[in-house]
Structure 1
Amino acid sequence: MAKSTILNTVERKSILLLGDLIIIGFSLKNFVYRAIDYVDKETLTNKMGIFFIGLFTYFMIAYVLDLYNLEKVPKSLTFSVFRVFSIAFLFTLFLFITTTIIFDFAYWRIHLFVFMAFCPIQLVLWRMLFNYIFKFVPTTKKVLYLYDQTTLDSLETNVALINGIDKETYHSVIATQLNDELTSLDNFDDHLKLKNIDTWIINTRNYNHFSGQMERKMVNSILTGKEIITYTSFYESVYEALPIQSHNDSIYEILQLKNKKLRYLQSIASFNFNLILTLFVGLFFFMVVPFVYILNLFLNKGPLFYTQLRVGKHGKEYKVFKFRSMVVDAEASGAKMATKNDARITKFGKILRKFRIDELPQILSVIRGDMLFIGPRPERKVFVDKLNEVTPFYNVRHLVKPGITGWAQVKYKYGENLEDSIRKLEYDLYYIKNKSVVLDLRIIFKTATTILFSRGV
């Protein structure tokens, strides 16, 4: 296969998704038209509904449980196979139980067994075939990384990020070169010809020093199917965040955050998301309060709630509410970020935090208009001031209202220190820049993943 036809992550996911769609489609067809016994006109109408509900349900479960996260490095082949089989069987079991309860169908047992057993097996075999094919198909792009003096100090880190840190990027840096040397083109052709470079990743503050000859070489490379992108574009595409610690392009990306046309459909969708989720979570919050109150009397003696001032939109402080999960006077010695195995967290508080129940009272701040359901996590002023000293970009996240959940919360672990907060800032800025209906939906589904797997502190 020619180097220019190396498939990127989206194309690989599309092939995998197409195979799953065919298998699930045929399995559902056999389920609704063979396994279900009834044949009257009303049942036929219900069957069509079940077919499409089944498709939606499978892909929702698969997405929430990270089945299409090809970037995640698998623990082992056995674990991957077991995971695919478990998710597929969970889907078939869920569909069988749901249709039985709602429609009270009778079933042909042999066809029901075929659906529940062979659907997971077929998906496992397809996933194994998919992995086997990509052992022989070129999957990794060979990268020439061009940098200048402004990113010289972070060269090792940037190269590691391109190659992938705990993540499959499908890129491998074969050669690097300092841009100050490019005007002479010494040994540059060796990089392109001898090492079969597929992609140039450029990380430079100034593009004006490229010679005319170099610019022509770049154009010729594009015309021959090579990929030429900036480091920021690569980072944003692969890590779905903005690389604020690589300052070459970051400031220009940030200056564009508010220079976008008003998207009315996005505004309407955002309003509806927040309204529906606020009603749903608000109802759940008021149902949970009595149980938390009673358990708090025995397992977590002290006030039920605690309040803090957090920094919101345009840097204005507001009051946030949470179920108390720490000992009383936990910050008697001063403000301190929560950490893993924090001694200040009570035993009952650990349960509240594990399932994010402690976050529910924040719905009161949403009702008051200080927060949205989706947005950057609100932080305290003492930490905001410290972070503003470390990075000039931190206050940019206050362009929008903070949220109960957000892109940074579902993409990165619970922040334990200032370094983690800066890393999460990259995701917050990505969200502000790329906010859309699809991204909001991804956050909602990924929030379910975060709660199910109890990620974070």
Structure 2
Amino acid sequence: MARPSILNSVERKFILLVGDLVVIIASLNVFVNHAIDAEFISTRLEISVFSFGIFSFLTLSYILDLYNLQKRLRRKYVITQALYITSLFVFVVFIFCVIFFDTSFWRIPLLVFLLLTPVEVALWRLFFANVFRVIPITKNVLLIYEKDTEGSLREVQKRIDGVDLETFYRVKLTYDINSDTAIRKPFLNAIEKVDSWVLNVKSYNGIPADLEKLMFRAILKGKEVITYTSFYENIYEALPIQSHNDSFYEILQLRHKKIRYLQTIFSFGLNFLVSLFLGLMLILCIPFVFVLNIFFNPGPLFYTQKRVGLHGKEFKIYKFRSMVTDAEKEGAKMAVKNDARITSFGRILRIFRIDEIPQVISLIRGDMQFIGPRPERKVFVKQLNNLVPFYGTRHLIRPGITGWAQVKYKYGQNLEDSVRKLEYDLYYIKNRSITLDLRIIFKTITTVLFSRGI
């Protein structure tokens, strides 16, 4: 018996969004038509409140990751997340109305809007989570590999099943294309049980003809047939540099590209505005940091260090010093969580990202841009070039103060973390766009507001 059609991640997010919007629009209707005194209601007020309400809910939802279905659907998490985000939403809408419109309110309808809206959204999301515990949401995967990729088989399978997130894929069958025909025939009889084929092979020319026919038949039946690189890029929004892929062409899919004028203009405008803002912040912060340094962090005000930038050229980076003056007396060492070298005042600077502000100097000089791969030290670049292929690819664009790797992965504490962050850097270089830059900006705001990382 064939399995029922499985909704993909985008379809599930769409259903969840529709349900949220139904609740939000109904709640805004209660607020506008019942909570506000009818004497003050106008077409302008209705349009403004509905437009602002929907926009603010969608913005808060994106910034606070309300539609990240890859996080495990735990009941407690689903409820608490919906409650605090929607509570923030109703408060923002109420304040907006108070500030921009001279109105009076009916208390009971207002309380219904403020208190019941978060509860309604939480109940809808709890229902959604329970429904998808009952109906099938996970795709069974047939993983195709070959002798050359067998060494990474366990790691690849672990990535498909999910590491630190829910992929909604599970490897049910694995198949070596080098298997002899006697083994192949009975094995291929079991492929009806799978929903997706994932190919992890170096050369697609080596796939047996009978397997190609079955693959084509699976495509005609509406089943998913994708490469492991495509799967990884779609699910993790990164590139799988530690799989079999030592092919530079498959990783970056090199092709002729038109000049992206809009992207260039957007980047220039963004860098200009950030330079003005951070430049002003630097001028305001220097006197305070200087005075507090005398008492709580004796030593130089700034910390300078050479980093590798565009095309592998070194440049000088500036920060407010947050570590003891002899932090590297035993040689270069990456910062780690709860690093003993960080002073008490330096820890405060790091929590609020104040130590990063002087990097605006490198931004103004053109050595860095606001969004890009994090610049690394030459000593670590040499080690990483020997450890992983294509590490130097991240130097194709100017390094950034923030970037895709910084907002998607934890603070790098060792070379292994740097390898994982490279996956996100390569994804950014390959998929760089205004939309992706805006996502990074939103996530950077969240990171700073909630003091994530070291």
TM-score (norm: length of structure 1): 0.94
Q: Displacement, 1:256?
A: 3.1
Which residue matches 1:353? Answer: 350
Between the aligned partners of 1:404 and 1:38, the Cα distance in structure 2 is: 50
Change (3 A) 1:250 1:16: farther
Give the structure 2 partner of residue 157 of structure 1: 155
CA shift, 1:2, in A, is: 5.9
Change (3 A) 1:181 1:219: same
Say if 2:29 is the partner of 1:32. no
- 2:210 pairs, out of 209, 213, 217, with 213
* 1:382-428 per-position Cα deviation (integer Å, ceiling 9, x unaligned): 11111111112100000001111000001101111111101100000
**Residue 135 of structure 1: aligned partner:** 133
Query: Aligned partners of 1:334 and 1:387: how far apart in 2?
Result: 17
Task: Give me the whole-angstrom Cα distance separating, in 2, the residues matched to 1:249 and 1:419.
Answer: 18
Partner of 1:81: 79
2:429 maps to which of 429, 432, 451? 432
CA displacement, residues 191-236 of structure 1 (integer Å, 9 cap, x when unaligned) = 313xx11001010001112232221111111001111100111100
Matched, 1:262 2:259: yes
Query: Does residue 310 in structure 1 map to residue 278 in structure 2?
Result: no
In the other structure, the counterpart of 1:344 is: 341
CA contact (8 A) 1:144 1:191 kept: no
What one-letter code is carried by the residue in structure 2 that aligns with 1:80?
A: V
Match runs of 1:279-428 below 5 Å: 279-428=276-425
In structure 2, the residue matched to 1:252 is 249
The 5-angstrom pairing of residues 34-53 of structure 1 reads 34-37=34-37, 39=39, 44-53=43-52
1:191 maps to which residue?
190
Secondary structure at 2:56's aligned position in 1? helix
2-structure distance, mates of 1:162, 1:214: 21
Q: Secondary structure at the match of 1:167?
A: coil
Q: Which whole-Å CA distance do the structure 2 matches of 1:448 and 1:290 have between them?
A: 25
Partners in 2 of 1:419 and 1:121 — Cα distance? 43
Distance in 2 (CA, whole Å) between partners of 1:452 and 1:88 is 18
Q: Which residue of 2 aligns with 1:119?
A: 117
Match of 1:170 among 168, 171, 184: 168
* Further displaced range: 338-347 or 2-11: 2-11
Q: Which stretch has the larger CA shift, 258-267 or 50-59?
A: 258-267
User: What SS does the corresponding residue of 2:222 show, helix, strand or coil?
Assistant: coil
For structure 1, which runs of at least 5 residues remain unmatched after alignment?
none
Per the alignment, residue 219 of structure 2 pairs with: 222
Distance 1:38 1:277 in 2: 44
* C-alpha separation in 1, matches of 2:5 and 2:416: 38
- Mapped to 2, the partners of 1:3 and 1:441 lie a distance apart of 39
Determine what percentage of the aligned residue pairs are the same residue.
56
| Cα drift, residue 298 of structure 1 | 1.7
Which SS does the other structure have where 2:429 is aligned? helix
> Alpha-carbon deviation of 1:101?
3.1
The one-letter code sitting in structure 1 at the alignment partner of 2:146 is D
* Partner secondary structure for residue 204 of structure 2: coil
Aligned partners of 1:257 and 1:26: how far apart in 2? 49
Residue 122 of structure 1 aligns to a residue in which SS? helix
- The residue type paired with residue 313 of structure 1 is L
Deviates further, 266-275 or 417-426: 266-275
Contact 2:229 2:251 in 1 (8 A): no
Count of aligned pairs between the two proteins:
453
Give me the TM-score of the superposition, normalised by structure 2. Answer: 0.94
Q: Cα distance 1:265–1:33, how it changes in 2: closer, same or farther (>3 A)? A: farther
The structural deviation recorded for 1:38 is: 6.2
Q: Which residue of 2 aligns with 1:179?
A: 177
Structure 2: runs of 5+ lacking an equivalent:
none
Paired residue secondary structure (2:190):
helix
Q: Distance in 2 between matches of 1:20 and 1:273?
A: 32
1:215 to 1:90, Cα distance in 2 relative to 1, 3 A: same
Give the Cα separation in 2 of the matches to 1:403 and 1:317. Answer: 14
Q: Are the equivalent residues in 2 in contact too, given 1:20–1:123 (CA < 8 A)?
A: yes
- How far apart are 1:186 and its partner, in Å? 2.7
Alpha carbon RMSD of aligned pairs, Å? 2.0
Q: Distance in 2 between matches of 1:112 and 1:203?
A: 57
Using a 3 Å threshold, how does the CA distance of structure 1 residues 401 and 425 change in structure 2: closer, same or farther? Answer: same
In the TM superposition, residue 238 of structure 1 has moved relative to its aligned partner by 0.4
Does residue 455 (structure 1) correspond to residue 431 (structure 2)? The answer is: no
